[in-house]
Structure 1
Amino acid sequence: MEWIALLIAGAFEVTGVIGIKGVSDRRGWPYMALMLLSFAGSFSLLSYAMTTLPMGTAYAVWTGIGTVGSTVTGMLMFGEPKEWRRVLFIAMILCSAVGLKIIT
C-alpha cells in the first residue's frame, strides 16, 4: 500500500509543478489552488509512505517520479525540446527508481 501511496504522491508532485507553471504564467487563482492542493497531497502521501519504506528510497523514488513526470509534461504540453539526450536521461532516472524498488 505504501508503494501505491508513493506513486500517487509522485503524480501529485507533477500536477503541483503544472500549477507552478500556471502561476508563473499568471493564469489565475485556479492554478494557485491546483499547486497548493497538489503539494499538500503529495507531501501527505510521501509522509505516509515513509512510515514503512526507507526514507532514502521513498524520497528518491518520489523525486524521480516528479522529475520524469514534469519533464515529460513539459515536452508534451509546453513545447519543451524532445531531443534524444533528454529521453536517455529520463530513462536512466526511471531505471534507478525501479532498481530501488527491486532491492527494497
Structure 2
Amino acid sequence: MAWISLIFAGVFEMLGVTMINKLHKDRNWQSLVLLITGFGISFVLLAFAMKTLPMGTAYAIWTGIGTAGGAISGMLLYGESKDWRRIVFIAMVLGAALGLKLIS
C-alpha cells in the first residue's frame, strides 16, 4: 500500500509542477486551486508512504516521478524540447527510481 501511495504522490507532484507553469501563463484561480491541491495531496500521500518506507527511498522516488513527469508534461503540453538526449536522461531518472524499488 505504501508503494501505491508513493506512486500517486508522485503523480500529484507532477500535477502541481504542471500547474506552476500553467499559472504563470494563464493567471486564473483554477490553476492556483489545482496547484495547491496537487501539492497538498502529494505531501499527504508521501507522508503516508514514509510511515513504512525508508525516507531516502521514498523521497528519491517521489522526486524522480515528479521530475520525470514534469519534464514529460512540459514536452507534451508546452512544446518543450523533445531531444533524444533529454529523453535518455528522463529514462535514467525513471530507471533509478525503479532500481530503488527493486532493492527496497
Q: Provide the TM-score with structure 2 as the length reference.
A: 0.97
Which residue of structure 2 lines up, in the alignment, with residue 96 of structure 1? 96
Runs of 5+ in structure 2 lacking a partner? none
Question: What secondary structure, in the 3-state scheme, does the structure 1 residue paired with 2:80 have?
Answer: coil
Which residue of structure 1 lines up, in the alignment, with residue 20 of structure 2? 20
Shift of 1:26: 3.2
> What root-mean-square deviation, in Å, do the aligned CA atoms of Structure 1 and Structure 2 show?
0.7
Letter matched to residue 20 of structure 1? I
CA distance in 2, matches of 1:26, 1:77: 14
Q: Provide the TM-score with structure 1 as the length reference.
A: 0.97
CA distance in 1, matches of 2:47, 2:81: 33
Aligned residues between the structures: 104
CA distance in 2, matches of 1:97, 1:76: 22
Q: How does 1:23-102 map to 2 (within 5 A)?
A: 23-102=23-102
Shift of 1:27: 3.3
CA distance in 1, matches of 2:18, 2:31: 8
CA distance in 2, matches of 1:18, 1:66: 10
Letter matched to residue 65 of structure 1? I
Task: Determine what percentage of the aligned residue pairs are the same residue.
Answer: 54
Shift of 1:23: 1.4
Shift of 1:35: 0.2
Runs of 5+ in structure 1 lacking a partner? none
CA distance in 2, matches of 1:40, 1:29: 16
